[in-house]
């Protein structure tokens, strides 16, 4: 089992890794047409040298500073938050964006360490505090999405950051957040509630069970309870990626329990997870990922300037209701783990490939054809393809956050899933027919024909409960 996990981890990391961008040497500041100045710098975090860009108003000295911390996905991609950094710099705040870890540094789509990410963030804060543009006593962290977990953990590991800001963060564990996102999106698109767990959660549980889900188990509530610095959480009205309402409740309760007397939890109206204007959270034709909502920029930069002026208060906006309440991801039974899934796919391949392989061997040996019927051919073809396509679609649902179902929803099912369900029914009917044909012809069947018919029927017998677990039978 462990070797399967290691092999899968290495293969997936190799396929999903993003090549690291060469670190740029420090460059002199250069004035931009906008009146902002960009400076290329490097700093160290452990044994890593990290490239970064500092954006500040021209002539800046001793201004509040903020380090932007990446959301999900491997680095470097420091420009992902350039629009945020420029908007903050235009508002009189020195901003830094830096290169996130890539696969070569231990971060991929299936692997990562919240401690490593947090240490990088703290090292960035220390680097910005040394710059003359920034006030060393007023440099903080801004973490978006997955970066919210990072900055909360960073504050728990070091007192370098003067304040902490989260944007589109989740108060749940990473796996529970992903499950909520999947199930909410499936429900929003009209998918039958009974498919919520098979399509939205069970593959996550399988990966978590075999330690293949990135950052699984991290809980931001305990470190947030201990946070002794100003905190700002901003949430999107139309966030389809993280549960704004439940997260606000968890943040509020944790901060109150820890006695934090300087925090704000604000809801930005009319924006999506990225703080970009939207009418319902989806990306319309005019969607521009860099078109940050002015309300977001004004809320966050105004709060930072308020800290600089010595302001302190507790502000909590009305908490929005969640259409689907989040919950923990239940640990699967042995047959629901990732290793069990890989073994099942291999077993189905052996059982259903036995049909064409035995025929091929027979033909090569020139011993004449084996017994075959339309039912046996149907079972062999569907049985070989169905498990792979089912696992592939469940995996795709996870990777896309259920936002790309590859077709319309028909009868409460994504169209590809409806096709798979139909194929499963056809396969079962064909298997029943094959069983009848086998019984009637049993006296004249050769050993080879009996072997491959037995393999087909065994495969179907195993595929039925397997398919039921993964939602092919409701």
Q: Is 239 in contact with 272 (CB distance < 8 Å)?
A: yes
- How many C-beta atoms lie closer than 10 Å to residue 265's C-beta? 22
| CATH architecture, domain defined by 2-173+218-316 | 3-Layer(aba) Sandwich (3.40)
CA distances to 82, 129, 130, 232 from 30, rounded to whole Å, are 16, 20, 19, 32
- Rounded CA-CA distance 273/145 in Å is 8
Closest CA to 421 of 199, 234, 103: 199
CA atoms within 13 A on the CB side of 200: 30
pLDDT digits (tens, 9 = 90+) for 423-463: 999 999 999 999 998 888 877 777 777 888 899 999 999 99
- How many C-beta atoms lie closer than 10 Å to residue 298's C-beta? 13
- Rounded CA-CA distance 290/300 in Å is 17
Contacts of 28 (CB under 8 A, 6+ apart): 39
pLDDT value at residue 285:
57
CA distances to 41, 353, 372, 444, 451 from 441, rounded to whole Å, are 79, 22, 11, 6, 14
The residue whose two tokens read 């529970």 is 176
Tokens in use for 153?
């953990």
- How many C-beta atoms lie closer than 10 Å to residue 318's C-beta? 8
- Rounded CA-CA distance 436/157 in Å is 68
pLDDT digits (tens, 9 = 90+) for 353-393: 998 888 787 677 656 556 788 999 999 999 999 999 999 99
Phi-psi region of 260 (alpha: psi -120 to 50; beta: other; left: phi over 0): beta
pLDDT digits (tens, 9 = 90+) for 263-281: 999 999 999 999 999 988 8
Indicate the burial class of 393 (C-beta count within 10 angstroms; 0-12, 13-18, 19 or more).
Answer: buried
pLDDT at 10 over 80: no
What average pLDDT score do residues 172-187 get? Answer: 95
pLDDT at 24 over 70: no
Indicate the burial class of 157 (C-beta count within 10 angstroms; 0-12, 13-18, 19 or more).
Answer: middle
- Rounded CA-CA distance 224/156 in Å is 8
Tokens in use for 178?
């992903």
pLDDT at 142 over 90: yes
Q: Is 126 in contact with 160 (CB distance < 8 Å)?
A: yes
Q: Is 430 helix (H, G, I), strand (E, B) or coil?
A: helix
Mean pLDDT of the chain: 89
Strands 263-268 and 231-236: parallel
98 phi and psi angles, rounded to 5 deg: -140, 170
> To the nearest whole percent, how much of the chain has pLDDT over 90?
74
pLDDT value at residue 108:
79
> Could you tell me the end-to-end alpha-carbon distance of the chain, in angstroms, rounded to an integer?
30
What average pLDDT score do residues 71-88 get? Answer: 88
Q: Is 117 in contact with 155 (CB distance < 8 Å)?
A: no
Q: Is 456 in contact with 351 (CB distance < 8 Å)?
A: yes
CA 321 distance to own-chain centroid: 23
* Helices and strands of the chain, counted as H and E runs: 14, 12
- Give, for 246, the enclosing helix (H) or strand (E): helix 244-257
- How many C-beta atoms lie closer than 10 Å to residue 399's C-beta? 12
Tokens in use for 28?
């002199």
Q: Which of 34-48, 143-157, 290-304, 446-460 has the lowest mean pLDDT?
A: 446-460
The residue whose two tokens read 């932007």 is 68
Strands 48-57 and 94-98: antiparallel
CA 269 distance to own-chain centroid: 24
Q: Is 463 helix (H, G, I), strand (E, B) or coil?
A: helix
Q: How many degrees, rounded to 5, is the angle at CA 290 between CA 287 and CA 294? A: 95
pLDDT digits (tens, 9 = 90+) for 89-131: 999 999 999 999 887 878 877 778 899 999 999 999 999 999 9
The residue whose two tokens read 């009205």 is 237
| CATH 3.40.50.1820 domain locations along the chain | 2-173+218-316
pLDDT at 7 over 80: no
């Amino acid at each position: 089992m462990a070797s399967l996990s290691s092999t899968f981890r290495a293969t997936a990391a190799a396929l999903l890794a993003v090549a690291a961008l060469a670190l740029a040497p420090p460059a002199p500041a250069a004035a931009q047409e906008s009146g902002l100045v960009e400076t290329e710098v490097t700093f160290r975090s452990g044994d890593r040298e990290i490239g970064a860009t500092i954006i500040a108003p021209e002539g800046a000295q001793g201004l509040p500073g903020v380090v932007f911390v990446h959301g999900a996905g491997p680095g470097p991609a420091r420009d992902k938050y350039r629009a945020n950094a420029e908007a903050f710099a235009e508002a009189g705040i020195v901003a830094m964006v830096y290169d996130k870890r890539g696969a070569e540094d231990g971060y991929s789509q299936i692997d990562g360490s919240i401690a490593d990410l947090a240490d990088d963030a703290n090292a960035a804060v220390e680097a910005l505090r040394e710059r003359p543009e920034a006030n060393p006593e007023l440099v903080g962290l801004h973490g978006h999405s997955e970066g919210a977990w990072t900055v909360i953990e960073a504050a728990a590991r070091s007192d370098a950051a003067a304040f902490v800001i989260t944007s589109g963060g989740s108060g749940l564990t990473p796996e529970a957040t992903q499950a909520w996102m999947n199930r909410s999106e499936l429900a929003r698109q009209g998918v039958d509630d009974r498919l919520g767990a098979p399509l939205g959660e069970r593959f996550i549980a399988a990966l978590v069970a075999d330690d293949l889900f990135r950052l699984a188990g991290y809980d931001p509530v305990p470190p947030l309870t201990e946070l002794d610095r100003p905190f700002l959480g901003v949430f999107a009205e139309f966030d389809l990626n993280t549960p704004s309402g439940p997260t606000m409740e968890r943040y509020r309760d944790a901060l109150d329990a820890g006695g934090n007397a300087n925090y704000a939890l604000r809801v930005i109206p009319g924006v999506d997870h990225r703080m970009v204007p939207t009418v319902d959270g989806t990306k319309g034709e005019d969607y521009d990922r860099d078109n940050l909502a002015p309300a977001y920029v004004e809320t966050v930069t105004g709060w930072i300037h308020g800290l600089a002026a010595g302001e302190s208060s507790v502000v909590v906006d009305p908490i929005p209701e969640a259409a689907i309440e989040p919950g923990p991801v239940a640990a699967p039974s042995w047959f629901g783990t990732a290793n069990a899934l890989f073994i099942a796919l291999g077993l189905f391949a052996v059982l259903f490939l036995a049909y064409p392989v035995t025929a091929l061997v027979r033909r090569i040996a020139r011993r004449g054809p084996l017994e075959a019927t339309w039912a046996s051919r149907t079972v062999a073809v569907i049985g070989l393809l169905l498990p792979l396509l089912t696992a592939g679609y469940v995996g795709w649902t996870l990777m896309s956050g259920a936002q790309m179902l590859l077709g319309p929803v028909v009868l409460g099912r994504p169209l590809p899933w409806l096709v798979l369900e139909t194929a499963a029914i056809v396969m079962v009917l064909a298997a029943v027919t094959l069983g009848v044909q086998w019984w009637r012809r049993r006296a004249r069947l050769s050993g080879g024909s009996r072997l491959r018919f037995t393999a087909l029927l065994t495969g179907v017998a195993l595929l039925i409960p397997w398919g039921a677990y993964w939602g092919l039978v409701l």
